[in-house]
């Protein structure tokens, strides 16, 4: 039976079934899909530098080689530095947890002296630094596992960059200049590239500011917390909060309430300036996604693809939204995802 002859209810059920099969397929292929998506992410960030070199008459093979070498050296250097920090921090986690529990006992005793009785067992159960450290470890480990397929990512980025300059022309020849897919592709390409580049620069500035702030304080493993601030800044709404928690806890262990307050103040200032002043100024009116959709996409892509899916949740959701808007039958779903 032709698809058009099906009733609306059957079409809906068929769409839901296809969606479930697609999600199950993505979860099954996550080991291949995550490195590929990460490669596309890196290639999009490298594309402006590649086009800049080609515009200055640098041969395309040489331009790609230069860009890829810069990326390889940068990622290798950062990976080595971060791996050392993670290993050293992992060895110190039990000592930090014990110190934090001692500090919590002192706080509960101080509150008891001022007439506020709290069960130490209840506080110990509710304030569990091990859970927070486990979340931090899972995020960094998940990203590290994705980068472990470095050779695969390297080759994929290389081939994508070789095709970057010629792909738009190929797409036009394949679809025809008047085809609706041309405008959809150009809209998607501009939106995603703009978002990723601006978000990356803002995240880089955020990580640099956090490193400087924590360095002035003398907080241990500032490179680790700066990297965490950089990565989690890609996660909308809650990423910056999660990035601040371990650094504030460690500052509390090292310097007490005053040090923790100063650390928290630094994260608060950078998130206000970057998230509410700098980023909106260069992002324009935003991503065209409602706040609820942004949050739900974070949960969904994190569940499907893990930590890397959380980092790429907005670009992936934008792809889905643009694909839905391109089809007349599913356009209404794309409209529901919009922020207007």
Q: Rounded to an integer, what distance in angstroms lies between the CA atom of residue 162 and that of residue 83?
A: 31
Structure-derived torsion over alpha carbons of residues 82, 84, 86, 92, reported in degrees to the nearest 10: -150
Top-confidence residue, 266 or 193: 266
**b/e 212-247 (16+ beta carbons within 10 angstroms → b):** ebbeebebbbbbbbbbbbbbbbbbbeebbebbbbbb
Q: What is the pLDDT of residues 214-242, one digit of tens each?
A: 999 888 888 888 888 887 787 766 777 77
Q: Rounded to an integer, what distance in angstroms lies between the CA atom of residue 223 and that of residue 216?
A: 13
Tokens 């050296």: give the residue.
73
Q: At what angle do helices 291-305 and 30-55 cross, to 10 degrees?
A: 120
Tokens 């068929």: give the residue.
14
Angle, CA of 99, 307 and 130, to the nearest 5°? 15
For position 55, what pLDDT does the model report?
Answer: 81
Q: Rounded to an integer, what distance in angstroms lies between the CA atom of residue 278 and that of residue 325?
A: 30
Q: How much is the pTM?
A: 0.72
Top-confidence residue, 165 or 45: 45
Helix (H, G, I), strand (E, B) or coil at 130: helix
15 pLDDT band (50/70/90 cuts)?
Answer: confident
């Amino acid at each position: 039976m032709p698809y058009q002859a099906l009733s609306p209810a059957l079409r809906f059920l068929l769409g839901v079934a296809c969606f479930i099969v697609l999600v199950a397929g993505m979860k099954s292929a996550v080991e291949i899909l995550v490195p590929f998506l990460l490669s596309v992410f890196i290639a999009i960030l490298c594309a402006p530098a590649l086009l800049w070199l080609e515009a200055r008459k640098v041969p395309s093979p040489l331009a790609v080689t230069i860009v890829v070498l810069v990326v390889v050296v940068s990622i290798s250097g950062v990976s080595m530095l971060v791996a050392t920090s993670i290993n050293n921090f992992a060895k110190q986690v039990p000592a930090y947890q014990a110190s934090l529990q001692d500090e919590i006992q002192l706080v509960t005793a101080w509150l008891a002296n001022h007439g506020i009785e709290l069960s130490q067992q209840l506080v110990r159960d509710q304030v569990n630094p091990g859970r927070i450290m486990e979340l931090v470890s899972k995020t960094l480990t998940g990203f590290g596992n994705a980068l472990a397929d470095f050779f695969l990512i390297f080759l994929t980025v290389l081939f994508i960059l070789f095709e970057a300059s010629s792909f738009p022309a190929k797409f036009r020849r394949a679809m025809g200049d008047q085809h609706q897919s041309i405008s959809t592709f150009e809209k998607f390409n501009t939106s995603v590239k703009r978002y990723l580049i601006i978000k990356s620069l803002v995240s880089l500035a955020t990580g640099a500011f956090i490193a400087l702030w924590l360095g002035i304080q003398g907080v241990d493993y500032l490179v680790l917390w700066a990297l965490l601030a950089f990565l989690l800044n890609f996660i909308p709404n809650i990423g910056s909060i999660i990035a601040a928690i371990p650094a504030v806890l460690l500052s509390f262990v090292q310097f007490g309430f005053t040090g923790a307050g100063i650390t928290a103040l630094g994260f608060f200032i950078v998130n206000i300036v970057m998230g509410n002043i700098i980023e909106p100024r260069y992002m324009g009116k935003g991503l065209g996604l409602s706040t609820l959709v942004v949050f739900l996409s974070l949960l969904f892509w994190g569940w499907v693809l893990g930590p890397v899916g959380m980092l790429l949740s907005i670009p992936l959701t934008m792809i889905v939204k643009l694909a839905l808007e391109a089809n007349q039958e599913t356009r209404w779903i794309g409209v529901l995802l919009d922020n207007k």
